[in-house]
Chains A and B, each alone.
Chain A
Amino acid sequence: MPVLIAHTISEATEILAENPDATILNGGTDLMVEVNFNHRHPSSVLLLRNVPQLREWSIDSSQQTITIGAGVPYAAMETGAIAAAVPALAQAARTVGSPQIRAAGTMGGNLGTCSPAGDTLPVLSALEATIHLSSQDGERTVPFGEFMVGPKKNSRLQHEIITAVTLPVTGNRQGYSKVGVRNAMVISVASACFAIVDDTPRLAMGSVGPTILRAVKAEKFLAEATKDLDNISDEIAREFGEIASTEARPIDDHRSTAQYRAHAIKVLASRLAVRGTAS
């Protein structure tokens, strides 16, 4: 099986144009598992690890955004400047797998796989991130809400490479929570990201639907219920959680029950709504 090694983004898109069947390999923490389980049999592999551009990130202070390369590993997001700019992303990154997985795994891979349990995805949804895609035809950007279209389905075209993600640097409250049955190294049973962007509350929910779900009714309720988002009463927080849980569309599976997942969303949402405030 040929392994095609790219050193620049343009080289990568060129290789992909010539080898439309090539499977993209980033950290390999999803792909190699699938190969091991015989779920995927790549005919050729395009290796992105040696593309330095994909491992870069930068903050645009005039736009108040941060752009993170698709090959930046989770370990680089856990602390430092990325963590300071997007704390919820750092919290999500810290919940991913083990130190070994976080050293190898990337957001590009999380987006490539697009599992409803992917831990960075609720953060990208709540912050309304923009996904950058690159191909021989040029570059395009897609809002996260249009990128993830189903469980393990995204709108990336076969010849496109995910190059980066742009997120707002809000300077405002945001947080990520994930429930699993173990205290680390666990696939989420339910997760939620709460963020205040442009003075409006946002809540995205993971593992409780075919895609990451936005709790639009709960968001609307909260925006109308209070002017001061840093001073939310317990009662309002509780109602926020209850509304959010009605917006979840969880299922029963071997990891949990629909009933528990909906309940967990209620608790996570109401706790996140007040997390980091004085109350």
Chain B
Amino acid sequence: MSSVKTKRDVLGTSSLRPDGGAKVKGDFAFTSDLHAENMLWGATLRSPHPHARIVSIDTTAAWKIAGVECIVTADDVPGQLTYGLISSDQPVFAKDVVRYMGEPIAAVAADHPETCRRALAAITVVYEVLPVLFDPELAIGDDFEPIHPDGNLIRQQRIVHGDTSVVGDVIVEGHYVIGMQDQAFLGTESALALPDADGQGVEVFVATQWLHEDQKQMAACLNLPTERVRLVLGGVGGAFGAREDISLQVHTALLALRTSRPVKMQYGREESFFGHVHRHPATVWMRHHATNEGKIVKIEARFVFDGGAYASTSAAVLINGVTHTQGPYKCPVAVVDGYAVRTNNPPCGAMRGFGVVQACFAHEGQMDKLAAAVGTDPVSIRLMNAMETGDLLITGQPVESVAPVARLIRETNEIPLPPDLAIDANELDLPGGSGITAERKHIRRGIGWGVSIKNIMYSEGFDDYSTARCTLSDGKVVLKFATSEVGQGFVTLAPQIARSVLGVTDAVCDTIDTQIGSAGSTSASRQTWMSGGAVDGACRLVRERLFELVGAQQNIEPIRFAIEDDEIVDTAGTFRMSVIEASQGITISETFEHHHRKTEELDENGQGNCHVAFAFVAHRAVVDVDPELGLVKVVQIATAQDVGQVLNPLSVLGQIEGGIAQGLGLAVMEEIIVQEGRVRNPSFTDYLLPTALDAPVVVARMIEEYEPQAPLGAKGVGEPPCISVTPAIVAAIRDAIGKDIDRCPVRPQDICL
């Protein structure tokens, strides 16, 4: 049989997403598209107050509405009354007190969303409004009554490193404010729960980042054995951290169990703003000491992260923030104080960049101040201090990762600047865009820099692992894992790995669910490393078994075999056989669990090897500003990113461009406005996301330096693109207008008033 060699989408190629075509055509089923026979709709009653005592809840009138099948409150939660990722401090339903605006109080199931809406309106809750703790500074210390039994301070961490008596020749200081950003995924929260016939279990289709963690928390609240809560990943429309915490999972499952009918819940856009955690707003103070040339000798800093009403991942976000104080620069001495606090503001947790975004905004502002103070430029000051492999962090941890910081800065600097604005530039290319607010002569251009370091994977001793199974049969591979595909492209990468390792062409992913071990969360830029490592490991085990089988048949030592293209070849002889032929009529299945190396907790001085590995990136922003009106147009972002090995160039570019758009949002427009605990702009009318007209030209270089610690030599690439682009854009605005700006997002009035 002669065969034409088909091009195989192995590692290193821009293999296309298996779900790409369906998504473009609108055929892809997101969780919100799911439907079940005899299904009810669920909806949530939420608190209108940021802080209040619940005096009474009366559901009598709501029960009487035709079509209402079930109403549940805290009293109906069969198991644990609270949940949470790190500490279980968040109620499934508020019972005695509500601690943030939008906190769930009850849920209903009914025949139609409109019936649900009417039922919610018919529930009477009597509140006694309490004083609102909205100032994070007041949450430190004893100035405000604890708003939660766990207290108002979620975590405090100090870092003391080196000889702290050192004083620099030059000292620069800054106070920085970072606003509350929303992940703003397009597919709002959604789940479909199907109760088991015996009422003792439930199957839940849900858009989530971490199936097994949801499963664990749900089982505890539902008082069911873990294996009776089976989760299946529904189509996910973006995540960015907002799907790490439980939102509607317990509510939907509880309603399904109570009614013995399938129940679907789905948040609208407004509810979504109240239904998930956001990026922590933070204030950061930093004081850099340096030599007269500009070499950093000491950094002092103080961070306050506003965690909102419940702990979520605030404790980990805080650690990420304080341990990245120095940025991608050498720093021998540091004194850092960090606080993550509880307030009556919306709960905050994971979002792309996870605490490092806040640190980076501050340390990059400082680097520019330092450059100005010693009379050098932003590029030279960063090159002079650039971190290298082997340097010690302020936690005492050596950076073992590849750390091409200086190279990233140089390569970014080599990218040509965009041409000047044409004299007759179209209004759409000017700040103000279609509003025609300016002419060419009103515009000034600025250039700014941002460079960052980001830890990848989980820290502080967490045993972080991922599981995958590879099954080879008749030349076809099926891969099974619980890795949430939230758009990052693991469903593209996993088959690429199988094709490379096993020489097959036909490789597909099985249903993503809890019928296999945990994959950990799709977060912390970890899945290519962790689940990639698991799939790679499983495929290698299958390959070993295949070599043994073929070796036995052919009387060749298996060790002599290798995969070449789509064939098994004897490296010491002439035997060749296609993998398809070799695997005809047999099935080989292997499961592999990939763990990353152990990390440590920090001691009371913030010392310890708490992180696994690091990724770096440099950004240079060119921005046009209308200084009089305070309007901005980001013209170009040049970037060089440390990626280890590129496994799929198109996927990497997608992460780079998307991350830059998200970082741009934080730089100039995206902010949840909270006044005394109340969210003022829970809609896409008023929470502004960048449009195509706001997105800059991106010129990206992927810097490939193989990461020996990583299973595939590849670092995670998801978070770095959004981290230092924000300070780069803000620096470019400062450069254009010659004025200090210490907050993001930058508002028009920050520029012109």
Contacts and interface: CB of A to CB of B under 8 A. Distances in A.
Contacts of A54: none
Given A186-B688, A255-B686, A267-B628, A179 B435 contact: yes
A256 B631 CA distance: 13
Interface residues of B, number: 37
11 contacts: A178-B436, A178-B437, A180-B435, A182-B669, A184-B433, A187-B685, A260-B747, A260-B748, A263-B753, A264-B629, A268-B437
B673 A179 contact: no
Interface stretch (B67-75, B314-322, B689-697): B689-697
A70 to B, nearest CB: 23
A188 to B, nearest CB: 8
Interface string A29-73: 000000011100000000000000000000000000000000000
Interface of A: 36-38, 91, 94-95, 98, 175-189, 191, 254-257, 259-260, 263-264, 267-268, 271, 275
Interface in B656-684: 668-669, 673, 675, 680-681
B749 A182 contact: no
Contact of B753 (A175, A187, A191, A259): A259
B669 A263 contact: no
Contacts of B685: 187
Contacts, number: 98
Contacts of B203: none
Interface of B: 117, 268, 270, 428, 431-439, 442, 628-631, 633, 668-669, 673, 675, 680-681, 685-686, 688, 690-691, 693-694, 747-749, 752-753
B628 A181 contact: no
Contact of A181 (B268, B680, B688): B688
A230 to B, nearest CB: 16
Nearest to A189: B748
B117 A254 contact: no
Contacts of B629: 179, 264, 267-268
A184 B691 contact: yes
B691 A183 contact: yes
Given A181-B748, A259-B749, A271 B442 contact: yes
B436 A254 contact: no
Query: 4 closest Cβ contacts across the A-B interface?
Result: A183-B433, A254-B680, A178-B435, A260-B749
A91 B431 CA distance: 16
Nearest to A275: B439
A271 B747 contact: no
A40 to B, nearest CB: 14
B438 A256 contact: no
B121 to A, nearest CB: 9
A178 B631 CA distance: 11
A175 B436 contact: yes
A180 to B, nearest CB: 6
A91 B628 CA distance: 21
Contacts of B633: 183
Nearest to A276: B439
Given A95-B434, A267-B628, 7 more contacts: A179-B631, A179-B748, A182-B669, A183-B694, A184-B428, A268-B437, A271-B442
Max chain A C-beta neighbours (<10 A), residue from B431, B631, B681: B631
Contact of A184 (B117, B631, B693): B693
Max chain B C-beta neighbours (<10 A), residue from A176, A177, A189: A177
B747 A177 contact: no
Contacts of A257: 749
Contacts of B631: 179, 181, 183
A182 B688 contact: yes
A254 B753 contact: no
B437 A263 contact: no
